[in-house]
Structure 1
Amino acid sequence: MLWYCVKRLLRSLGSLCIIIVIVFCLLRLMPIEGYFPNYDKMSAQEIQNGLQKMGLTAPLYQQLFHFFGELLHGDLGVSNIYRVDYPIVRIIAQKAPVSIEFGLIAMAISLPLGLVLGVLMAKKKGGFWDQFGTAYIVFIEAVPIMLIYLFLQLYGTGVFHLGILYDSDKPATAILPVLSLALPSVSGYAMWLRRFMVDESNMEYIKFAKAKGVPNNAIWFRHVFRNAMVPLVQLIPGSLLLTIAGSIYVESLYSIPGMGGLLVDVIKRQDNTMVQALVIVFAALSIFGLLLGDILMAIVDPRISLTKKAVSR
């Protein structure tokens, strides 16, 4: 188990390093206006001196090694436009709690609803709940998610008279953003749990248990549901971390001061260092979610071999 965790951690770090290199090189192709708050008022000499001071005139490989050295010390650089010369780590530390709060609340709603819907769809295969769940999943998957968010905002504010923008002093204004984050996740959990439970219910040991006269509820919940949750557990950490990171569109739509809205803001302002830092943070969260999912799946079911090549990802 320990050796498996070490190998997966090293592979994840390798993937993250590759992403960092790609993002770093691509951002160096961006216009240099993104490094100066008053670029239009600066002379050519002032611009050159500023680039030299930031180390942007050095060869690319030297800039990259210097950046990795700063990362090892937890330094993501400073903002050049969004908040001039302010450490990016501090900005993220101020924004992250908001995204974490919304993400956890949305997860607390979507996970139980998705599991219940998935169980009902699997047990009542072909029945009302299966048809209802299938229609809901198809709707979520087929309709552009931005259109769904707009409909929620439109009818939520018009019918239920909820605030169109988030206000921390008015808890009711958090309802629509939380629902916007939660509802798409419900379909994902329900779809995968149904699939895993249906596959599990067709296993030979389930047929044998039915032939022995084991009660139907015991079969579904002690065997089918329990075993179907093993592969689903692998998806939960990544989904949780991505939800915590915050939907970029949702936070921007409701003016939520979180990390997702921050990314949209700094892209509009062309703050290159901020964009670079946030993309790396989101990539790190995604990779860490996959790593945590693999480890958690092995913990939930100790029968899973962690050394056979057949099960390696």
Structure 2
Amino acid sequence: MKKYIFKRSIQSLITIWIVIFVVFMLLRLMPTSGYFTRDDYLTMTEEMRQAYLKSIGVLDPPLTQFKNFIVNIFNGDLGRSITVYPRLSITTILKEKIGYSAVFGFASIVISMGLGIPMGILMARYKGKIVDNLGTFYSVIVRAVPSLIYLFLFQVWVSKIFDLPMLFYKDRPESWILPAISMSLSSIAWYAIWLRRFMVDEANRDYIKFAQVKGLSESYVMRKHVLRNAFVPIAIGIPSDLLLIISGSLIIENLYSIPGMGGLLIDSIKQMDNNLVQVLVLIYSVLSVLGVFLGDLLIVFIDPRIRLTESED
């Protein structure tokens, strides 16, 4: 286990380093106008622009710029936004937005697992019956219909039926209900349909049939053998889901006017805010790689039979 953790840690660090380096160098190919606000660019002369670019190190060799970027990161200096939030500290921007995305993201995971997993279990247990058919119908609709369509209909209809606000308000807790549920609709279908599939596959294996022949009750076999083994592929993605909740949802946050992280990276790319792009890519890269790493470790605790290295007995 220690050998595996060390090996994967090195691989993860190399992966993150390569991603950040490539993105950083590609951003150096972008027009330098992205380092100015619109007003500053129009009012400055060419000499003033060059002097400003030199003062912030943009005219330094690319490798020198990359070294300075990494050093600043380790010193806790994430820089300032240039065009999206002119001259505002990136740290301040993230503090304001991550909280909203994290709260709704965590709530959606709780709702998704709390409803999706039991739904998948019931669909597998009563395969071909009305529970399975209804669950399959829901999953097909959610996966087949464009998300913007069913999310908009859900927002309009449910808000009218239960008299809930259609938009998010920080000081009105009842306005948090619809966004949290909306964010979980797709994940509920994902947990349900995949858990059903894995459980049905496990239930048809020879060792399950042998356990039933031995006289073990159906509920015991489903709980101790089928569900436990079927849940392993599902569990691999849970750490990634938990870590990436701060990334927010572009559609949901725009639909309900939530001031979270959703769309921040897209906005920063559109407006060529290089400083903000660099930091966001760094954050998402670290979270993604760490999520995969933790997912591998989690399955060992769920199923001790799994070995991460060939030398383990």
> Within 5 Å, which residues of 2 pair with 1:270-309?
270-308=272-310
> Within 5 Å, which residues of 2 pair with 1:178-257?
178-257=180-259
Q: 1:179 to 1:230 in 2, by over 3 A?
A: same
CA distance in 2, matches of 1:171, 1:261: 23
Query: How far is 1:275 from its partner?
Result: 2.5
Q: Kindly provide the CA deviation profile for residues 93-140 of structure 1, in whole angstroms up to 9, marking residues without a partner as x.
A: 232122111111111111011101110111111222222222222222
Identity of aligned residues (%): 44
Query: How far is 1:268 from its partner?
Result: 5.3
Q: Kindly provide the CA deviation profile for residues 4-45 of structure 1, in whole angstroms up to 9, marking residues without a partner as x.
A: 112112212222112212221232233323211222222111
What residue number does 1:19 align with?
A: 19
What residue number does 1:86 align with?
A: 88
CA distance in 2, matches of 1:84, 1:50: 15
Contact 2:98/2:260, CA 8 A, preserved across alignment: yes
3-state SS of paired residue (1:257): coil
Contact 1:248/1:264, CA 8 A, preserved across alignment: no
CA distance in 1, matches of 2:288, 2:180: 21
Q: Kindly provide the CA deviation profile for residues 47-99 of structure 1, in whole angstroms up to 9, marking residues without a partner as x.
A: 11111112111222222222222233343222123444333123212321221
Q: Which runs of 5+ in 2 are unaligned?
A: none
CA distance in 2, matches of 1:35, 1:252: 27
Q: Which moved more, 1:187-196 or 1:300-309?
A: 300-309
Q: Which amino acid aligns with 2:12?
A: S
What residue number does 2:130 align with?
A: 128
Q: Which amino acid aligns with 1:295?
A: L
> Within 5 Å, which residues of 2 pair with 1:145-164?
145-164=147-166
What residue number does 1:33 align with?
A: 33
Q: 1:245 to 1:81 in 2, by over 3 A?
A: same
Contact 2:99/2:246, CA 8 A, preserved across alignment: no
What residue number does 1:107 align with?
A: 109
Contact 1:252/1:264, CA 8 A, preserved across alignment: no
TM (normalized to structure 1)? Answer: 0.91
Q: Which moved more, 1:17-26 or 1:114-123?
A: 17-26
TM (normalized to structure 2)? Answer: 0.91
What residue number does 2:64 align with?
A: 62
Query: How far is 1:281 from its partner?
Result: 1.5
Q: Which moved more, 1:242-251 or 1:119-128?
A: 242-251
CA distance in 2, matches of 1:304, 1:74: 39
Query: How far is 1:167 from its partner?
Result: 0.6
Contact 2:240/2:290, CA 8 A, preserved across alignment: yes
CA distance in 2, matches of 1:162, 1:279: 36
CA distance in 1, matches of 2:294, 2:218: 33
Q: Which moved more, 1:82-91 or 1:214-223?
A: 82-91
Query: How far is 1:290 from its partner?
Result: 1.1
Contact 2:246/2:261, CA 8 A, preserved across alignment: no
CA distance in 2, matches of 1:156, 1:115: 24
Q: Which moved more, 1:212-221 or 1:255-264?
A: 255-264
What residue number does 1:260 align with?
A: 262
Q: Which moved more, 1:156-165 or 1:5-14?
A: 156-165
CA distance in 1, matches of 2:135, 2:207: 27
Equivalent of residue 168 in structure 2, options 166, 169, 178: 166
Q: Which amino acid aligns with 1:242?
A: L
Query: How far is 1:215 from its partner?
Result: 0.7
Query: How far is 1:230 from its partner?
Result: 2.2
Q: 1:113 to 1:284 in 2, by over 3 A?
A: same
CA distance in 2, matches of 1:197, 1:140: 21
Query: How far is 1:242 from its partner?
Result: 2.6
What RMSD in Å do the two structures reach over aligned CA positions?
2.0
Q: Which amino acid aligns with 1:300?
A: I
Q: Which runs of 5+ in 1 are unaligned?
A: none
Equivalent of residue 77 in structure 2, options 75, 86, 90: 75
What residue number does 1:96 align with?
A: 98
Query: How far is 1:152 from its partner?
Result: 2.3
